[in-house]
């Protein structure tokens, strides 16, 4: 998901982009506040005077004189866009891992940064593209990227948002052992250590014995009542025909739920 978003960003939006870990700022000979990611490109006399800029610090429109030339304005917009992209990428890449109580605010921050990037790109396209058809094509790509980010955020919300997390069980460990075998059956002891970070209810864990091609040969549902923020172990026995047990090469969790 993340790779697709980044590829869309690179291919369809940014006229230029560089990956860097630190941004430097200095005042150039024209009195402009200037940002660079390459310390070797700093003008003479600035090498020992620059200060690393915070990654989330972005240039404001007020930093640019109203009578600036198109060339200066394009440079200014590119700097703002590059800094905004750094913050966007940083938040977007980690959205699935933020704590539940920070998820909504982080999502809103990402959307605000996305809107800012769209605005900056619209202005850059207007300044750098004279051909009407090419301008329209670049705008279409920009808006397609924006829509794609919305879809990815919605998908992540459904999978990792606060509501999804509240109904998700965490399986800490799964143990399956053969405890009995005779001519008519093979008996397995199945234990699943689970943790419930959400609402209390009846937990269920579906465990499947799979063959070499991944198909399910035998399955068993372990279930039991569990409280909020509680950890417990679910037990169950699975009785399998010997000819089926012969083909089971692994046992896996295939589904969890809390009702």
Q: Tell me the domains of the chain and their CATH numbers.
A: 2-164 (no CATH), 168-258 (2.60.40.10)
Q: Give the model's confidence band at 255: pLDDT under 50 very low, under 70 low, under 90 confident, else very high.
A: confident
How far lies 150's CA from each of 96, 100, 108, 112, 114, in Å? 15, 19, 11, 12, 9
Candidate from 41-50, 90-99, 198-207, 227-236 with smallest mean pLDDT? 41-50
Cβ-proximal residues to 248 (8 Å cutoff; 6+ apart), any chain: 209, 210, 211, 217, 218, 240
Say if residue 231's pLDDT is above 70: yes
pLDDT tens by residue, 133-159: 999 999 999 999 999 999 999 988 887
Q: Average pLDDT for residues 222-241, to the nearest whole number? A: 92
Q: What is the pTM of this model?
A: 0.49
Q: Average pLDDT for residues 119-141, to the nearest whole number? A: 91
Buried b (16+ CB within 10 A) or exposed e, 28-40: eeeebebbbbeee
For 175, what's the count of Cα atoms within 13 Å in the CB-facing half-sphere?
Answer: 11
- Alpha-carbon distance of 31 to 107, in angstroms, equals 37
pLDDT tens by residue, 57-109: 444 444 555 566 788 888 888 888 888 888 888 888 888 778 777 888 999 99
Q: Average pLDDT for residues 110-114, to the nearest whole number? A: 92
- Percent above pLDDT 70 for the chain: 73
């Amino acid at each position: 998901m993340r790779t697709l978003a980044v590829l869309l960003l690179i291919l369809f939006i940014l006229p230029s982009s560089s990956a860097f870990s630190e941004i430097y700022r200095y005042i150039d000979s024209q009195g402009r506040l200037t940002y660079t990611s390459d310390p070797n490109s700093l003008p003479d006399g600035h090498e020992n005077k620059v200060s690393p800029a915070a990654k989330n610090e972005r240039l404001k429109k007020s930093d640019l004189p109203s009578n600036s030339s198109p060339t200066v304005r394009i440079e200014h917009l590119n700097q703002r866009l590059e800094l905004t992209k750094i913050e966007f990428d940083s938040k977007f890449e980690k959205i699935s891992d933020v704590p539940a109580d920070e998820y909504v605010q982080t999502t809103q921050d990402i959307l605000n940064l996305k809107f800012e990037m769209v605005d900056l790109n619209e202005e850059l396209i207007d300044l750098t593209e004279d051909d009407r058809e090419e301008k329209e094509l670049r705008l279409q790509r920009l808006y397609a990227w924006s829509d794609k980010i919305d879809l990815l955020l919605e998908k992540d919300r459904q999978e990792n948002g606060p509501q999804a997390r509240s109904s998700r069980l965490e399986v800490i460990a799964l143990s399956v052992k053969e405890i009995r075998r005779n001519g008519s059956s093979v008996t397995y002891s199945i234990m699943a250590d689970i943790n419930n970070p959400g609402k209390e209810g009846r937990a269920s864990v579906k465990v499947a014995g799979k063959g070499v091609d991944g198909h399910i040969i035998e399955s068993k549902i372990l279930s039991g009542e569990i409280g909020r923020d509680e950890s417990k172990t679910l037990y169950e026995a699975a009785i399998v025909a010997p000819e089926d047990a012969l083909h089971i090469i692994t046992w896996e969790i295939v589904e969890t739920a809390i009702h």
